[in-house]
Amino acid sequence: MATGRTHRPATRSRGIPEATVARLPLYLRALTALSERSVPTVSSEELAAAAGVNSAKLRKDFSYLGSYGTRGVGYDVEYLVYQISRELGLTQDWPVVIVGIGNLGAALANYGGFSARGFRVAALIDADPAMAGKPVAGMPVQHTDDLEKIIEENGVSIGVIATPAGAAQQVSERLIAAGVTSILNFAPTVLSVPDGVDVRKVDLSIELQILAFHEQRKAGEEAAAGASVPGGEGVAEVPGAGSGAAPAAAVEPPAGRAAAVARKNGPEGDVPAVMPA
Amino acid sequence: MATGRTHRPATRSRGIPEATVARLPLYLRALTALSERSVPTVSSEELAAAAGVNSAKLRKDFSYLGSYGTRGVGYDVEYLVYQISRELGLTQDWPVVIVGIGNLGAALANYGGFSARGFRVAALIDADPAMAGKPVAGMPVQHTDDLEKIIEENGVSIGVIATPAGAAQQVSERLIAAGVTSILNFAPTVLSVPDGVDVRKVDLSIELQILAFHEQRKAGEEAAAGASVPGGEGVAEVPGAGSGAAPAAAVEPPAGRAAAVARKNGPEGDVPAVMPA
DNA sequence: ATGTCTTTGTGAACGCGTGCACAAAGATTG
DNA sequence: CAATCTTTGTGCACGCGTTCACAAAGACAT
């Protein structure tokens, strides 16, 4: 999953553990699918399988919401859909703004999943004057100058940041000053926000790096365990055809402990692309 | 953060806790920024602040990697950058494929963060024949028919799925059969994969739902605590101008316990958009 | 009405992650 | 070389989250 956790640690909300809250949308999705197939009831076992979790965990999660099941039968699908929706606040309409209409921002604006669940894109905002007025996803992009006005007029409390990293902190401050109290941040930066403001982070490159870690570990284990293909430097014609991955080129050797003290910009030369990692 | 966790629970890899691994990319980013500014060393306190974590946590995290600091001084930036890069496997080149070149897939292809950190987009794959050959991010889209061939020829072990929900499971199976062992899934579905395959999930609508939960809770607390604005149904002229959010319309009342048994498609009518939630 | 069978709801144990607080280590100064 | 000061590395305790396992509750059959 590509979701980091930037949350106040404890503050168990109304007794519902944070971990449980994070799973409720998962259950809701599975239940919605069942509802569409007109399935009247489900057991914890079935629903857990559909959501990809342990059935005991699911039952405990639901127990925090109340006793909504019937022993010997299971859970009423429609009823549970409503209860979870209500608990998550999806029975309300949440206007959101997307700031930063680049590749990602435009994709988010076009993403159907938002409107499908009670989230209404109230406005698209970008700092580029050339973007102003341009329609994206059937909606004219507005300029950053009007950010505060837009937030207040629409009663927006949730903001999505899809700007380059450099602009994210400042944008978040303006959003918060205007009344936003929840932020979904796609920019690869750590946002510092005052207490009471929730930030959730989606960072694509971090997710890939975590995968790379496990991938490397797998490759290492494999090499260590089965001592097959012993010819270390053997010329592999078709690299990794089949199982094991085949990393292509090695990069940048050590560089010596505290050697390079004042190097202007190391060989790792991160020329910041559209959105630097 | 917008990252769910779909991971084998324990299996502490080589003694490095999963939670630590998830933070390493964060440290790496902060360190890279310092490196670019030619800062030679940092204390755990400074680096922790830059990464947005507790300094004790950071030191403990680094202790899993080894003793790379110098007491009384701090950590050598360049050296630490290398060590973390190596630990994460970023000193290798990781070819990835992106499957599903819709709005999101195209945005991902254009996203600079990938190539900036050792991840090379080896191919873009889409099931739509009309897309085949079309250039996206300076690279021709290839058809799904060639998926296996592409994976094997390029030694790809990491796949990114950005297809509609309905296609994701099947795509994952083909990727895995062809040799992919790590998947970053943007489709709103629970993928079931064999042991040994890592899946990380990025789900935009889930992140928003979690924010909505907290947002609702804040609004509730506010209403409960400060009994100001007592006129429950009072007509708010400018909704939520300033602090509290202003949810607009209420949706779908209860529906009565086990009443609606066999409803074809509830009022929640989820007409699946481009990417259904 | 009684018994059986299914499935929930939860008490309890365990393990991981976090954060405090401090001793050990090394740099630096006199 | 000794004293002081800074900062790391970690032992320990605490709390959250997960999982097991089972008693209680209700449906259903007889």
The pLDDT tens digits for B139-168 are: 999 999 999 999 999 999 999 999 999 999
Q: Best of A204, A237, A275 to disrupt the B interface by mutation (most B CBs within 10 Å)?
A: A204
Mutate to test the interface with B, among A12, A98, A213 (most CBs of B within 10 A): A213
Which of chain B's residues have a Cβ under 8 Å away from the Cβ of A115? 273
Calculate the CA A217 to chain-centre distance: 25
Contacts of A57 in chain B (CB under 8 A): none
Number of H helices, E strands in chain B: 9, 11
Question: Which two three-digit tokens encode residue A35?
Answer: 């509802």
List of residues 6+ apart from B181 with CB closer than 8 A: A215, A218, A243, A245, B157, B196, B197, B198
Q: Which of B216, B134, B277, B260 is nearest to A157 (CA)?
A: B216
> What pLDDT, on the 0 to 100 scale, is given for residue B266?
31
CA of B28 to C1' of D5 (A): 29
Cβ of residue B11 lies below 7 Å from strand D: no
Decide if B262 touches A, using CB distance below 8 A: yes
Q: Whole-number Å distance, CA B182 to C1' C14?
A: 30
Cα Rg, chain B, nearest whole Å? 24
Tens digits of pLDDT across chain A (277 residues): 444 334 333 344 468 999 999 999 999 999 999 999 999 999 999 999 999 999 999 999 999 999 899 999 999 999 999 999 999 999 999 999 999 999 999 999 998 888 778 899 999 999 999 999 999 999 999 999 999 999 999 999 999 999 999 999 999 999 999 999 999 999 999 999 999 999 999 999 999 999 999 999 998 776 666 554 443 333 333 333 333 333 433 334 333 333 333 333 333 322 222 233 3
- Residue A267 is predicted with a pLDDT of 31
Are A265 and B36 a contacting pair at CB < 8 A? yes
Q: Determine the distance in angstroms separating the CA of B128 from the nearest CA of chain A, rounded to an integer.
A: 18
- The reply to whether residue A276 touches residue B38, judged by beta carbons under 8 angstroms, is no
More confident residue, A97 or B267: A97
Whole-number distance in Å between B25 CA and D5 C1': 32
Q: Do B251 and A118 touch (CB under 8 A)?
A: yes
Q: Does domain A18-88 have CATH number 1.10.10.10?
A: yes
A73 interfaces chain B, CB cutoff of 8 Å? no
Pairing of strands B119-126, B94-99: parallel
A5 touches strand D (CB under 7 A): no
Cβ atoms of A182 and A158 within 8 Å: the answer is yes
At CA A168, angle to CA A265 and CA A105, rounded to 5? 105
Q: Is any Cβ of chain A less than 8 angstroms from the Cβ of B202? A: yes
Please report the pLDDT score of residue A15 as a whole number.
85
Residues A61 and A59: their CA atoms lie apart, in Å, by 5
- B30 Cβ partners below 8 Å, 6+ apart? A190, B47, B50, B51
Helices (H) and strands (E) in chain A, counts: 9, 10
Residue of B nearest to A88 (CA): B213
Angle at CA B88, nearest 5°, toward B86 and B59? 90
Query: Which residues of A carry a binding-site annotation for NAD(+)?
Result: 100-105
Name which of A82, A27, A35, A31 is nearest B255 in CA terms: A82
> Is A4's CB within 8 Å of B2's CB?
yes
Does the C-beta of B54 come within 7 A of strand D? Answer: no
State the maximum Cα–Cα separation within chain B, in Å, rounded to a whole number: 70
Q: Domain spans of chain A?
A: 18-88, 94-205
Beta carbons of A22 and B210 less than 8 Å apart: yes
For residue B270, give the 3-state DSSP assignment.
coil
**Beta pairing partners, B183:** B159, B199
Chain A residues close to B252, C-beta within 8 Å: 82, 85, 91
Binned at pLDDT 50, 70 and 90, residue B14 comes out as low
Nearest nucleotide from residue B20 CA, by C1' atom: C17
Give chain C positions with protein CB within 7 A.
5-11, 15-21, 24-28
B250 touches chain A (CB under 8 A): yes
CB contact under 8 A, B5 and A1: yes
Please list, residue by residue across B116-126, b when 16 or more beta carbons sit within 10 angstroms of its beta carbon and e when fewer do: bbbbebbbbbb
Whether B48 sits with its Cβ under 7 A from any strand D atom: the answer reads no
**Are A212 and B106 an interchain contact pair (Cβ–Cβ within 8 Å)?**
no
Q: How far is CA B238 from CA A155, B248, B252, in A?
A: 8, 12, 25
Residue A138, number of CB atoms within 10 A of its CB: 8
Residue in B closest to A18 by C-alpha: B210
- Higher-confidence residue of B267 and A142: namely A142
Mean pLDDT value of segment B37-66: 97
| Strand D nucleotides where any atom sits below 7 Å of a protein CB | 5-11, 15-21, 24-28
Choose, out of A47, A206, A261, the residue to mutate when testing the contact with B (most B CBs < 10 Å). A206
B71 touches strand D (CB under 7 A): yes
Q: Which residues pair with A159 in a beta bridge?
A: A97, A183
How open is the CA angle B99-B102-B103, to the nearest 5 degrees? 130
pLDDT, tens digit, 9 for 90 and up, residues B231-257: 333 333 333 333 333 343 333 333 333
B3-88: CATH number = 1.10.10.10
Q: Are A147 and A125 in contact (CB under 8 A)?
A: yes
- Whether residue B2 and residue A3 make contact (CB cut-off 8 A), yes or no, is yes
Residues A90, B209: C-beta atoms closer than 8 Å: yes
Please determine, for residue B2, whether its predicted confidence score (pLDDT) is greater than 90.
no
Tokens 């975590």 map to which residue? A210
Q: In what order do the strands lie in the sheet with B198-202?
A: B3-4, B198-202, B182-185, B158-161, B94-99, B119-126, B139-143, B135-136
DSSP symbol at A131: G
pLDDT at B64 over 80: yes
Q: Is B145 on the interface with A (CB under 8 A)?
A: no
Residue range B94-205 forms a domain whose CATH class is alpha beta
pLDDT band at B226 (very low <50, low <70, confident <90, very high): low
